[in-house]
Structure 1
Amino acid sequence: MTLLDASGIYTICPTPFDLHGQVDVDSIKTLVEFQIEVGVRGLAVLGFLGEAHKLTNAERRQVITAFVSGARGRVPVWVGVRALGIPGAIEQALEAQALGASAVFAAPLDGVSDAVLFDYYKALGKALHIPVIIHDFPDSFGTQISAEVVARLGREGGVNMIKMEEPPVGPKITRIRELAGDSMRVFGGLGGVYLLEELQRGAVGTMTGFAFPEVLVSIYDQFRQGNLEGAAATFDHYCPLLRYEFQPRLGLALRKYIYQQRGVIACDHVRAPGMRIDAYTRDELEAVVCRVGLSLEARGPQAVQKGA
C-alpha cells in the first residue's frame, strides 16, 4: 500500500471490552462490519480512543489481529504506535506490520529536539515496508512537531502523511502544504469539529472517532463532489453533536455509549483510569442526538440530513 490514494473518512476505533473488562473480539467484528457498511475508507486502531496505553502487549496483538481479520482486506487498517524510544517504536511497528497492518500512525517521542524527531520518523520509515504516518497531537503527547520538520520528512525522510491535530488547525495545514507541496498529505482529526475547514485548507480526509461516522462520510462526499454549500450545511447541522461528543476526558465514554446503544458493540466498558458518564450526562447526550435528528435505537447506517 502507498498513501497516494488514501483519503476520506478513517474511523479511529475504540477497543471494545466485555463486562469484565476483557477484550471483546466479537464486538470488534461487528464494529468493523458497521464501519464498512457506513462507507468509511479505512480503520485506525490502538490510538487514544483505542485505550492502547491500557493494554498488555498480548492484548495489542489480539486487537490488531481481530481488526485485520475482520476487515478481510476490504479497507486498510492503520495501527497506532507510541514508545519512549526509537527501538521500542520500531518493535511495535514491525509487529503491526507482521500482523497485517496497512500503515502505522506514530506518536512523537517525548520532549526531544526537531533533529531527533526527524531521525525518529525517518528510522521508522526505513524499518518498515508499510507507510508511516506522523501523529501530531501535542495536547495529548506534549510534543510539538513544527511544520518545518513535517515538510522535511515529506521531502527527505520518506514519511508522506500526517494526522494533524494541533489547533489552530487551519494555519498549520496551510503552512505544511506551502513548505512540503505534494510530498506531504494531511489528514485531520479532533473529533471532526474542524472537518470542513480542514478540507477547505487542503486536507485529504480525517481520522477521528465520531460515533456517527456516516455524518462525516456525507460531508466529505459532498465536498469532493463540489457541493460546497451542501457540505457546509450538513456540517453546520451536526455541529452540536460533534462538539458535545468531543469533550476532553469524556469523549471515549460518550462514543462507547453511542456504539453500544446503536447495537454496534455489546458493552460500553472503559478501563481505568477513564471517566464514565453519569445519568445526567447520558440524558444530555441523548437530547443532543435527538435534536440533530439521529437515533440511538436505529440499527445500521442512518440517513444524514444533507444540505443544498
Structure 2
Amino acid sequence: MSDVKKFVPVMITPFDSKGRIDMDAVFSLVDFYLNAGVKGLFANCLSSEMFSLTEDERLELTRRIVQYVDGRVPVVATGSFGQTIDDKARFTRQIYDTGVNAVIMITAHFANIDESDTTLLGNFFKLLQLTEDIPLGLYECPAPYKRILGPDVFRQLIDTGRFIYHKDTSIKKEWVEEKLAICREQQVLEFYDAHTPNTLTSLRSGARGMSSISGNFYPELMVWLCDHAADPAYQAEAAWLQAELTAADPLIHEAYPLSAKYFLQKRGLPLQQSSRTQVVQLTPLQQQQLDELINKFYSWCERLDIRPVTVSEPLLVK
C-alpha cells in the first residue's frame, strides 16, 4: 500500500431520451473522470441508479466499463443483489466475472433494519464461504436503509482478510476515526470516505482516499484535495477549498443524480437530463443555483491554478 491518496468517483449512468443506457455517453464520462486524474471508478453504485437497473443491465454496464477502462485504473462494482445469501453469492460471482477488481457488498443487504449485528455477521460469513477468494468491499449505502458498521462489527469483518475496500458513510468524524484506527492496525483495507465535508480530516487521519458524489460535479477539485491534503505548502488553500465545497454540498445533493447530469451537461459532456429516479425535472431555482455553482467552480480552479477538463481535448489513449 502506497501513501498516494486516491479519488474514486461513484459513477452516474447516462440514459438516452427513452430511458435506455447511453453507452457512448458512459464512455465519454469514463474519459472525463480519467482526464480529471481519478485513481479508480465505482460502477453500479447508488449514483448509478443501480436499484433502477435490471440484473442484466447491471452486469452489462459493469462489463462494458471494465472493458473500456482496460486496466488504466481499478474498477469496483456492487454485487450483493438477490433475495437470499445464495442469490447474493451467485450475483457476486457474476459481477466478478466482468473483470472488476473487487465486488462491493451493501451492508444493509445482510440484515433487516430491525435485525441484530449477530444476524448481519452470520449472513456475511455465509456469503464469504460461498464466494471463495473473490476480493470484496463494504458499502454503507443509504439505500435500502443506511446500516453503519460499528467498530466491533467492522473489525470482525476485516479480520476475515477478504475485504480490501470500504466506502464509509458514517459522517460523524469520531466514528470515521475509530474505523481508521482499526484500518491502521490491519493494513489490508483501503478506506474511502463518502462525505465531502470530511475530506481533509479523513485524509489526514489515514483514509486511502475519497469517494463522494462531488466527483460527479468537479472531480478535478477532489483530486487536488487528495493530492494536497497533507502538503504543508498548501494548507491554507486546502482549508479554503474545503470550506467552499462544504458550503456547496447541500446543493449538489438536491435532485441528485439529475443535478449532476445537468451540471456535467453544462460543462460540455454529452449527457441527457434523463434519470430513472423519482426526480424527473429540475426546478428553475435549482437550475439557477447550479449555474451559479458552475461559475464558482471555474473561479475556484482559477484561484488554485487547476485546469478544468474540457470535453473537446484529446481523450486519454487507451
Give the TM-score of the pair, scaled to structure 1.
Answer: 0.85
Taking the TM superposition and a 5 Å limit, the aligned residue runs for 1:57-206 are: 57-83=55-81, 84-108=83-107, 109-111=110-112, 112-126=115-129, 127-137=131-141, 141-156=145-160, 158-168=162-172, 170-183=173-186, 184-190=189-195, 192-206=196-210
State yes or no: 1:276 paired with 2:281.
yes
C-alpha spacing 1:180/1:202, structure 2 compared with 1 (3 Å): closer
For 1:289 and 1:65, the matched residues in 2 are separated by: 32
Compared CA separation, residues 287 and 93, structure 1 to 2 (3 A): same
SS of 1:186's equivalent?
strand
Distance 1:6 1:87 in 2: 37
In 1, Cα distance between the equivalents of 2:249 and 2:263? 13
How far is 1:76 from its partner? 1.1
Matched, 1:209 2:213: yes
Structure 2 residue aligned with 1:242, among 230, 233, 249? 249
Partner secondary structure for residue 77 of structure 2: strand
1:277–1:257 CA distance, 2 compared to 1 (3 A): same
Contact 1:106 1:133 in 2 (8 A): yes
Deviation of 1:263 after TM superposition, in Å, equals 2.4
CA contact (8 A) 1:102 1:130 kept: no
CA gap of 1:55–1:67, structure 2 versus 1, over 3 A, is: same
Q: Is the 8 A contact 1:154 1:161 kept in 2?
A: no
User: What RMSD over aligned residues (CA atoms) do the two structures have, in Å?
Assistant: 2.6
Cα deviation per residue 1:64-84 (whole Å; 9 max; x = unaligned)? Answer: 122112211101111013434
Matched-pair identity in %: 20
Matched, 1:266 2:260: no
Task: Please give the secondary structure, in 2, of the residue aligned with 1:193.
Answer: helix
Counterpart residue number, 1:304: none
Q: Which amino acid aligns with 2:194?
A: G
Amino acid at match of 1:274: V
C-alpha deviations, 1:45-88, integer Å up to 9, x for none?
Answer: 11111011111112112211221122111011110134343222
Determine the C-alpha separation between the residues in 2 that align with 1:79 and 1:46: 5
**Given that residues 197 and 246 in structure 2 are in contact (C-alpha distance below 8 angstroms), is that contact kept between their aligned partners in structure 1?**
yes
Distance 1:132 1:117 in 2: 16
Give me the whole-angstrom Cα distance separating, in 2, the residues matched to 1:28 and 1:44.
13
Q: Report what 2:28 is aligned to.
A: 30
Amino acid in structure 2 at the alignment position of 1:252:
P
Q: Give the Å deviation of 1:171.
A: 0.8
Match of residue 226 from structure 2: 220
Paired residue type of 1:117: L
Q: Using the TM superposition, give the Cα deviation of residue 140 of structure 1 relative to its aligned residue in structure 2, in angstroms.
A: 5.2
Q: What letter corresponds to residue 209 of structure 2 in structure 1?
A: G
Displacement of 1:7 in angstroms is: 4.5
Q: May I ask how many residue pairs the two structures share in their alignment?
A: 294
Contact 1:245 1:255 in 2 (8 A): yes
Q: Secondary structure at the match of 1:163?
A: strand
Tell whether 2:310 aligns with 1:300. yes
Name the residue aligned to 1:50. Answer: 48
Q: Is the 8 A contact 2:62 2:98 kept in 1?
A: yes
TM-score, scaled relative to structure 2 = 0.83
User: Aligned letter for 1:48?
Assistant: L
Matched, 1:232 2:239: yes
Picking from 256, 259, 262, the partner of 2:261 is 256
How far apart are residue 176 of structure 1 and its match?
Answer: 1.7
Q: In the superposition, relative to structure 1, how do residues 27 and 128 fare at CA in structure 2: closer, same or farther (>3 Å)?
A: farther
Structure 2 unmatched ranges of 5 or more: 301-307, 312-318
1:20 to 18, 21, 24: 18
